[in-house]
Amino acid sequence: MDNFVFHNPTKIFFGKGQIEHLGKEIINYGKKVLFVTGGGSVKRIGLYDKVIEILKEEKCNVYELSGVEPNPRLSTVKKGIEICKSEGIEVVLAVGGGSVLDASKAIAAGAKYDGDVWDFYTRKATIEDALPLATVLTLAATGSEMNGNSVVTNWETKEKLGTNSIHIYPKFSILDPTYTYSVPRDQTVYGIVDIMAHVFEQYFSHTSNTPLQDQFCESVMRTVIDNSEAVLERPDDYDARSNILLSGTMALNNIIRMGMAGDWATHMIEHEVSAIYDIPHGGGLAIIFPNWMKYVLDEGIEKFKRYAIEVWKVDATGKTDKEIALEGIEKTREFFNRIGAPSRLKDYNIGDENIELMAEKVVKRRTVGQYKKLTKEDVKNILTMSL
């Protein structure tokens, strides 16, 4: 394994009713609260009223920013920063899914920065400080509740970029599986794909000697696969929702990948697709990932063989390594199909009209891929396979 630094200071409250800790925890950071939400789901499930009630009880001054988009937009982030600066906000409270959390991280960092918050995403600047952030999660997917990642879309430049900083880890996050009961079927599916994709990006690594990390990754993947059908069949299955929710957090809080170099090419490709077409991130990942797998397979069949056997229980008898590996990839595609994720870009009415542009943008800012370093041509090939 490689040398590494691990530091994840987020405090997690997991389980039914853990919202009871919100009041006492949040006032550790201040009483002037920016309460950030997305669409109306937090109101529909009664969580909005509950949060307001708790904040009132603690005599907080509550400012609100609602309507954060599924691919959160820079323009919305800037509205939040404006409120923080003009009102002297002391703590940001994000209640919702990954996009609300990611936007809130951008707001928390932007509130302490004199320049344009987009600088953090274009790597013109590094986050040096941020308002404290607390989160209440309502969707198992991005892992944003326990990491320092934030992805924001700049609709003017049609760019979807990420940043990362220790300063934007949530101070605490409340994860109550019952809040995910009412997540619509398609969002549940996209969340599952996103979680699997996060593990893929870390697991498919050339770093040698990572037996514990590999097994941790496989543990998360198997848990997600084993619980997916249950959450789709019985949306209020507490046990299955808990397992998916915990898996989502563990998939992207740096624990399963200590000392491993990740890939992240598929995420970068998908970000450019959804920056142009505004499709669900999980949908895009489901389409592209199995094609990425096929495309990079020859860079290291051993890991794909291991994946097929350990995660998908592929029977290796009488098969070549490549046959075993391909069977694992096929099973990945079958799984995504079975739970209802899309297979092709045309499922979103996307043709080849922007492939050149998207490939260009993928490779524009940084090296892409680690399992296989991808050129613009490679990205075009993967996108073409995905049509």
Name the token pair of 124.
């013109």
> How far apart are the C-alpha atoms of 1 and 210, rounded to whole Å?
6
The single-letter code of the amino acid at 4 is F
| Phi, psi (deg, nearest 5) at residue 152 | -130, 145
- Least spacing, CB of residue 259 vs a copy of itself, in Å: 6
> What is the contact surface with a copy of itself in residues (CB under 8 A)?
1-18, 21, 172, 208-209, 211-212, 215-216, 218-220, 222-223, 226-227, 239, 242-243, 246-247, 250, 255, 258-259
Q: 330: left (phi > 0), else alpha (psi -120 to 50), else beta?
A: alpha
Q: Is the CB of 198 or the CB of 333 nearer to a copy of itself?
A: 198
Q: Which of 70, 154, 76 is closest to 118 using CA atoms? A: 154
Q: In the complex, what is the shortest distance from the CB of residue 140 to a copy of itself, in angstroms, rounded to a whole number?
A: 12
3-state secondary structure 189-244: HHHHHHHHHHHHHHHCCCCCCCHHHHHHHHHHHHHHHHHHHHHHHCCCCHHHHHHH
Going by their DSSP bridges, the two strands 159-164 and 149-154 should be labelled as antiparallel
DSSP per-residue letters across 324-387 = HHHHHHHHHHHHHHHHT---SGGGGT--STTHHHHHHHHHHSS---SSSPPPHHHHHHHHHHT-
Q: How far is the CB of 309 from a copy of itself (least distance, A)?
A: 14
Q: Which is nearer to a copy of itself, 143 or 280 (CB)?
A: 143
**CB-nearer residue toward a copy of itself: 148 or 280:** 148
CA distance 83 to 77: 10
Pick from 312, 318, 348: nearest CA to 333: 312
Distance of closest approach, residue 227 Cβ to a copy of itself, in angstroms: 8
Least distance in Å: CB of 193 to a copy of itself? 18
Find the shortest distance in angstroms from Cβ 80 to a copy of itself: 27
52 or 54, CB closer to a copy of itself? 54
Nearer to a copy of itself, 5 or 318 (CB): 5
DSSP run (H or E) holding 172: strand 172-175
- In the complex with a copy of itself, the residue whose CB is nearer, 12 or 111, is 12
Q: How far apart are CA 354 and CA 25, in angstroms?
A: 47
Report in angstroms how near the CB of residue 101 gets to a copy of itself at its nearest.
18
The smaller minimum CB distance to a copy of itself, of residues 76 and 142, is found at: 142
Burial of residue 237 (CB within 10 Å: 0-12, 13-18, 19+) is middle
Rounded to the nearest whole angstrom, what is the least distance from the CB of residue 228 to a copy of itself in the complex?
A: 12
Nearer to a copy of itself, 71 or 178 (CB): 178
